[in-house]
Amino acid sequence: MITLDDIEDMTCLSREEIEAVAEHDGLPDVNATCLAEYMMHEHHGAAKLQQMICEDIREALHKGNKAHAKDLYVVLHHFLRAHPEAARGAQA
């Protein structure tokens, strides 16, 4: 039987990055995994995922949840290191 871990391992994203997508769109992890993987193969999809994580950081800060914002910043930093094409101004 295929598990969520198996599905997540088939993507180019970390579990934390997938959790950020799930949080942003209010999706179960398996759906967020499929959406995120699909987006990574879209034109400017990585930049869209970067924007989603940034929006979640902003929302956490507005709610006064600095610890969660910090956790999401770590996710963003890892994402940009692994996918430099996501950075603003990056050549597509």
Over residues 21-35, the pLDDT tens digits come to 999 999 999 999 999
Share of the chain above pLDDT 90, in %: 73
**pLDDT reported for residue 89:** 57
Mean pLDDT to the nearest integer, 46-58: 95
pLDDT class of 82 with cuts at 50, 70, 90: very high
Query: What is d(CA 21, CA 25) in angstroms, rounded to the nearest whole number?
Result: 6
Tokens standing for residue 88: 């603003």
Q: What is the pTM of this model?
A: 0.85
Share of the chain above pLDDT 70, in %: 96
Half-sphere exposure at residue 6, Cβ-oriented, CA atoms within 13 angstroms: 3
